[in-house]
Chain A
Amino acid sequence: MSEVAHEVAKGAHGAAEGASGGFPPFDASLFPHQLFWFLVSFGALYLILANVIIPRIGKTLEARKNAIESDLKKAADETAAAEGAKKAAELAHHNAKEEARATLDAMRKELEDEAAKAQARAMADADEKIQAAVTIINEQQTKAIEEVSESIYDIAGDIFTSITGKKPAATLLKSAMKGAN
């Protein structure tokens, strides 16, 4: 490797070296020891990087990447769980509201029914009473009429007696009243 580098560098720049004399960058006599120390330091750096530093930093970065990823995943999961809890709470809230409304409706209906029943009963009661009253009135009326017609017979009989001096026959009177009616 070093030989190749040496030869190529010399070949490529041999002309320049000859022309400028002591131009240090092209002074081939200074090449070997530079090359040697270059290979020593470059090789050392390579070995340290390849065997110690790169694996070490790689491991650190990998560990961090994993930690961040798992943290993020956890955060996302927990947020999702919180969202779920919120949804559940909202659902429960909604259900409770529905239930309350249903209970309220049922209660209202019951009350309404009861009220309607009470009204109906009251109405029936009133009807009965009215009926009873009407019956009584009718009875009274009939009775009154009968009483009146009886007294009318008496009066008519009295009148007949006073006119004729005789007691009229009941049947005659009755038919006469009917004719008048």
Chain B
Amino acid sequence: MSHRDNNSHHKTLEELSRKVNAAIKAKEPVVKETYNNSGMGLGMRMASEFVSAILVGALLGLGLDNWLKTTPWFLLLGLGIGFAAGVVNIIRAGNEYSKNQPLGQDLPPEPDDEDN
């Protein structure tokens, strides 16, 4: 074995192990971007959750008023609580957004049946 020959063997082996390591690394889970990259989606979500909380509050109030003949007190109360619930909804949506949780790490694609 000449010296040159030895050297070239050396190189290919090094290259091979580098390749193998790269392949193994590529297989490892990648932390993905979070879901709500689009501000539009988030804005839409917040707006609709805010509005629907107020709507539900008002509807519950109306129902109670109709039932108990107390118009308009429960409607007003419902609107107030609905507004508060809407704010809570928005804060929650914002928290979920800023939590920046790495959704979808590469995990076994088949649901495991072990834990129950």
Contact = CB atoms under 8 A, between A and B. Distances in A.
Interface of A: 11-12, 57-59, 61-62, 65, 68-69, 72, 75-76, 79, 82-83, 86
B40 interface: no
Contacts of A86: 9-10, 13
A62 B110 contact: yes
Interface of B: 9-10, 13, 16-17, 20, 23-24, 27, 55, 59, 108-111
A83 B18 CA distance: 12
A75 B55 CA distance: 61
A89 to B, nearest CB: 8
Contacts of B13: 79, 82-83, 86
A83 B13 CA distance: 8
B110 A59 contact: yes
Contacts of B16: 79, 82
A57 B9 CA distance: 42
Contacts of A72: 20, 23-24, 27
B54 to A, nearest CB: 13
A61 B109 contact: yes
Tell me if B's interface is mostly helix, strand, loop or mixed: helix
Contacts of A58: 109-111
Contacts, number: 37
B59 A11 contact: yes
B24 A76 contact: yes
A81 to B, nearest CB: 11
Given A76-B24, A83-B17, A12 B108 contact: no
A83 B9 CA distance: 11
Contacts of A12: 55, 59
A99 to B, nearest CB: 17
B110 A79 contact: no
Q: Which 9 A-B pairs have the closest CB atoms?
A: A61-B109, A58-B110, A75-B20, A79-B17, A79-B20, A62-B110, A72-B24, A76-B20, A82-B13
With a 10 A CB-CB cut-off, give which of B9, B17, B55 has the most chain A CB atoms: B17
6 contacts: A65-B108, A72-B27, A76-B20, A79-B13, A82-B13, A83-B13
With a 10 A CB-CB cut-off, give which of A62, A76, A79, A86 has the most chain B CB atoms: A79
Given A68-B27, A72-B23, A82-B13, 14 more contacts: A11-B59, A61-B109, A62-B108, A72-B20, A72-B27, A75-B23, A76-B20, A76-B24, A79-B13, A79-B20, A82-B17, A83-B17, A86-B9, A86-B13
With a 10 A CB-CB cut-off, give which of B13, B20, B24 has the most chain A CB atoms: B20
A79 B20 CA distance: 8
